[in-house]
Amino acid sequence: MNLDSSVLELNGVKKYFPVHGGIFLGRKEDVRAVDGVSLVIRKGETLGLVGESGCGKSTLGRCIAGLYKLTDGTIKLHGEDISRLKSGELKALRLRMQMIFQDPFESLNSRHTVEEILQEKYIIHKLPQKKDGIDEISALLQKVGLPENARGKFPHEFSGGQRQRIGIARAISLDPEIIICDEPVSALDVSVQSQILNLLLALQKEMGLTCLLISHDLSVVRHLSDHIAVMYLGKIVETGRAESIYENPLHPYTQALISAIPIPDPEVKRNRIILKGDIPSPRNPPPGCRFHTRCPHAMDICRKQEPILGEFPGKYPGIKSDEDEKHEAHMAACHLLFNLHVDKKRKYI
């Protein structure tokens, strides 16, 4: 992989949470929340990480932000290994990497005014708050669509959508190299969700932000993401360019997720794929393909052998080199796809 343009590179990232039990409260088993994830995010790109609740996507976001220690694997930021930093180094990392949380109320200090919340950067870096005669806090408030008089108010005086705007203002105020948005609109009213998504899209374009956008809702990530990674029970099952994933989902799990996206046209009907059962426990993931307990196409091999991510043909505009090609590739982990593609030499979907 060409590291020059990659901001973030994950290699075999694992995060297991030990479960203790028995008479001596020894380690009984592990909850394998994230189980060997490799991903790359390039500068100025947004990667949408999607999957059902409990698939490990938020845990992965927290591992990247340094909130959880890794069980195994590496995370590199601009080629620098940030997987096992000491507490002092972690503090510096958090300035380079900001998170926008699902519930901004919990992440904002309720005893600080908006102005105090947004002053963090100027206090930490001892920077002047005025640049070319322009007050930076006022400029930030304007950028996220908050009125000037918001600066003297406390978080509880705002609506959910406005609080998320404060969270976004705080994240961008620190000029981070990457922003991790963890379900940024799922706690908001539907009417407000689109406003916040439009704001994120506008800022992303204006500032060339590099983002990891975590969501259970594929319709949320659709318009913001350049690439999509679909996660199931701690593993990535499909990755590719957003348009490729939406137009030609390969993995049966992605097909089911996409079939659940509502179409805003009463005349158009989509055949909804209903998945049976719940996502299995990450304490005891099924052998072979982890999706086999719910997959309508499961075969014998799926119960025994774990499929690996493989590349499927497809060229996309703007590809410049082999490295670009690899980055743009549409990958999926499914025995059925390999059988159809390799054995029968015919279209696999």
Q: Name the strand (E) or helix (H) holding 12.
A: strand 6-21
Rule CB under 6 A: is residue 230 a binding residue for ligand SF4? no
Which range in 4-12, 146-154, 256-264, 286-294 contacts ligand SF4 by CB under 6 A? Answer: 286-294
Rule CB under 6 A: is residue 231 a binding residue for ligand SF4? no
DSSP string, 74-86: EEEETTEE-TT--
Task: Work out how close the CB of 233 gets to ligand SF4 at its nearest, in angstroms, rounded to a whole number.
Answer: 11
Number of CB atoms found within 10 A of residue 264's CB: 7
Rule CB under 6 A: is residue 51 a binding residue for ligand SF4? no
Rule CB under 6 A: is residue 291 a binding residue for ligand SF4? yes
Which range in 155-163, 171-179, 211-219, 285-293 contacts ligand SF4 by CB under 6 A? Answer: 285-293
Of 209, 155, 159, whose CA–CA distance to 180 is shortest? 209
Rule CB under 6 A: is residue 28 a binding residue for ligand SF4? no
Residues in 106-135 at the binding interface with ligand SF4, rule: CB under 6 A: none
Task: Work out how close the CB of 256 gets to ligand SF4 at its nearest, in angstroms, rounded to a whole number.
Answer: 10
Which range in 25-33, 149-157, 201-209, 296-304 contacts ligand SF4 by CB under 6 A? Answer: 296-304
In the chain, the N- to C-terminal Cα span, in Å, equals 28
Give the one residue of 73, 155, 184, 252 binding ligand SF4; rule: CB under 6 A. Answer: 252
Tokens of 293: 């307990």
* Whole-angstrom distance, CA of residue 349 vs CA of residue 345: 12
* Whole-angstrom distance, CA of residue 320 vs CA of residue 49: 25
Of 88, 91, 93, 98, whose CA–CA distance to 76 is shortest? 93
Give the one residue of 75, 114, 140, 289 binding ligand SF4; rule: CB under 6 A. Answer: 289
Which range in 46-54, 149-157, 297-305, 318-326 contacts ligand SF4 by CB under 6 A? Answer: 297-305
Q: DSSP 3-state assignment of 316?
A: coil
* Whole-angstrom distance, CA of residue 298 vs CA of residue 289: 9
Rule CB under 6 A: is residue 235 a binding residue for ligand SF4? no
Rule CB under 6 A: is residue 295 a binding residue for ligand SF4? yes
Residues in 306-345 at the binding interface with ligand SF4, rule: CB under 6 A: 307, 334-336
Task: Work out how close the CB of 112 gets to ligand SF4 at its nearest, in angstroms, rounded to a whole number.
Answer: 48
Q: Which of residues 270 and 297 has its CB atom nearest to ligand SF4 in the complex? A: 297
Task: Work out how close the CB of 240 gets to ligand SF4 at its nearest, in angstroms, rounded to a whole number.
Answer: 16
Measured between alpha carbons, how far is residue 283 from residues 36, 71, 303, 333 in Å? 15, 15, 18, 21
Tokens of 301: 């091999």
Beta strands in 66-109 (DSSP E): 72-77, 80-81, 97-100
Q: In the 8-state DSSP scheme, what is residue 165? A: H
Task: Work out how close the CB of 174 gets to ligand SF4 at its nearest, in angstroms, rounded to a whole number.
Answer: 41
* Whole-angstrom distance, CA of residue 349 vs CA of residue 342: 13
Positions in the binding site for ligand SF4 (CB under 6 A): 251-252, 289, 291-292, 295, 297-299, 302, 307, 334-336
